Amino acid sequence: MTVCDGHPSKPVTPAQAGVHEHRAASRPGWMPAFAGMTGLLHRPSRTGMKGAVAALLLGCGSGAWAQAAGAGSVTVYGRVNTGIEHVRVSGSELGNLTRLSNYRSVIGFRGEEALGDGLKAIWQIEGGVSVDTGAGNIANRDTRVGLSGPWGTVFAGVWTLPYTSATAGFDPFYPTTAGYMALMGNGSAPNATHLSDTSSFDRRQANQVQYWSPKWKGLSARIAHGLREDTHPDTGSKPSLWSGSLSWEGGPWQLTAAHERHHNYQTADSTDTASKLGAAWQSGPARVAAVVERLRYGTASGELTRNAWYLSGTYRLGAGSLRVGYARAAEGKGPSAETVGFFRSGADTGASQLTLGYEHGLSKRTALYAFYSRIRNERAAIYDFAINEIGVAAGQRPSVLAVGLRHSF
């Protein structure tokens, strides 16, 4: 990667969750004028990398940097992830369809400033980029500002909830069309308020605060609160949520427990809950993971519950890896007559999803992959892929065959 003034950036290093970073270098550079962006980029200094940030957003042009006012660091990172899919729904007029799909591609900027005595100011601005359509948003993904110290990390903004992040890494196909969110968590909400999505427990929530504890002997905790900012137009209630997770890592094991509560989502005085346990075990090139989950909704016509479980496995073969995932959702239970998300109460409302895939690393930052996934709905079930939905009726069985390319920077 080369910035507009000709200065190359520093080599990339691996970052969390497979996203690689470019660290800002301390050398002169220029950046096109972009109203408001200098404030977002953490009191920017005159660095070549920040010129690269501007080039990514606007292309090279004229303009000058604001003067540096303090020391800190800025990182630009991202993921470009897309696939060509062949989708089919059995028993549907859709027939066969070939399409280009986006798998939550992102571009982001993060930074921190040392404040003394181990205290740091932290910030991140992350936006989704649709590789297939060219659409995008500068801050609709994990975006925050906060403080971090020996006591942990606290921040406010838009962020993935602890319930979601606790087991997302257990699914080798997350976040593609084949992701386990079709059955686990009852769908996926990449950016949600209390009113925009009232069913999913796999979500990134707006208007929230989070606290992350420091790690102690492999044990760590996270808790989030979605503030009561929205007012339901029909009931006048103010929904809110709590989400938390407790995780432990030691040797080949990773264990986690998570719980989430939604208040006033279905009615003016309702409570929806989700609870799950997860475990992953690594042995040489092989890794297996399992998740069990129970969802409960308080609807106007009564309680609606459902149990589900998920198993996955990966096996490394040189530069590649074989991957498999299987999810099973039981029938919905309870007196409720309503459909919430992908499920409802009654006989033959269960479903299963089998996914097989292979990924080959072309480099540390680029991978080519393929997968096949099929949802087997029972006669009255309506489960669909949570990302890039196809559209199904009761009993129909959607499937997808994809070849994709992912590049991280």
Q: What is the pLDDT of residue 340?
A: 97
Residue 62 lies in a domain: yes
In this model, does residue 30 exceed pLDDT 90? no
- pTM (2 decimals)? 0.84
178 plus 67 within the same structural domain: no
51: left (phi over 0), alpha (psi -120 to 50) or beta: alpha
* Spatial separation of the C-alpha atoms in residues 27 and 9, rounded to whole Å: 10
- Nearest C-alpha neighbor of 271 from the set 291, 295, 244: 295
Same domain assignment for residues 44 and 89: no
Q: Is 372 strand, coil or helix?
A: strand
Locate the DSSP E strands across 229-342: 240-250, 253-263, 271-283, 286-299, 302-317, 320-329
Whether 165 shows a pLDDT value over 80: the answer reads: yes
Q: What pLDDT, on a 0 to 100 scale, did the predictor assign at position 35?
A: 35
Which residues form the domain of 45? 1-71
Is residue 138 included in any domain, yes or no? no
Q: Is residue 208 part of a domain?
A: yes
Examine residue 352 and state whether it is found in any structural domain, yes or no: yes
Residue 119 lies in a domain: no
Q: Is residue 155 part of a domain?
A: no
Per-residue confidence (pLDDT) for residue 91, from 0 to 100: 77
Percent share of the chain, pLDDT over 90: 79
Window from 53-57, 184-188, 242-246 with minimum mean pLDDT: 53-57
Q: Of 47, 71, 95, which one is at a domain's C-terminal end?
A: 71
| 275 beta partners | 259, 294
- How does DSSP classify residue 333? B
Of 71, 89, 124, the domain-final residue: 71
The CB-side HSE value for 238 (13 A sphere, CA atoms) comes to 5
Q: Is the pLDDT of residue 50 over 80?
A: no
Alpha carbons 191 and 329: distance in angstroms, whole number: 24
Residue from 83, 133, 80 nearest 366 by CA: 80
Within 10 angstroms of residue 135's Cβ, the number of other Cβ atoms is 10
Same structural domain, 339 and 192: yes
287: confidence class by pLDDT, cuts 50, 70, 90: very high
CATH number at residue 353: 2.40.160.10
pLDDT confidence of 129, banded at 50, 70, 90? very high
Q: Which helix (H) or strand (E) holds 102?
A: strand 96-102
What is the tally of structural domains in the chain? Answer: 2
Shared domain for 12 and 95, answered yes or no, is no
Amino acid 92: pLDDT: 77
pLDDT at position 71 is 58
| pLDDT surpassing 50 at residue 62 | no
Q: How many CB atoms lie within 10 A of CB 196?
A: 11
Residues 209 and 356 in one domain: yes
- Tell me which DSSP letter residue 40 carries: H
Is the pLDDT confidence value at 185 over 90? yes
Q: Is residue 406 pLDDT above 60, yes or no? A: yes
**pLDDT tens, residue by residue, 374-387:** 999 999 999 999 99
The answer to whether residues 65 and 167 belong to one domain is no
Residue 120 lies in a domain: no
Tell me 60's DSSP state: S
Last residue within a domain, chosen from 20, 53, 71: 71
Q: How far apart are CA 373 and CA 89, in angstroms?
A: 12
In the three-class reduction of DSSP (H, G, I as helix; E, B as strand; rest coil), residue 142 is classed as coil
pLDDT digits (tens, 9 = 90+) for 195-205: 999 999 999 99
With 90 as the cut, is the pLDDT of residue 27 above it?
Answer: no
What is the rounded average pLDDT of the residues 268-296? 97
Q: Which among 119, 121, 128, 123 has a CA at the least distance from the CA of 109?
A: 123
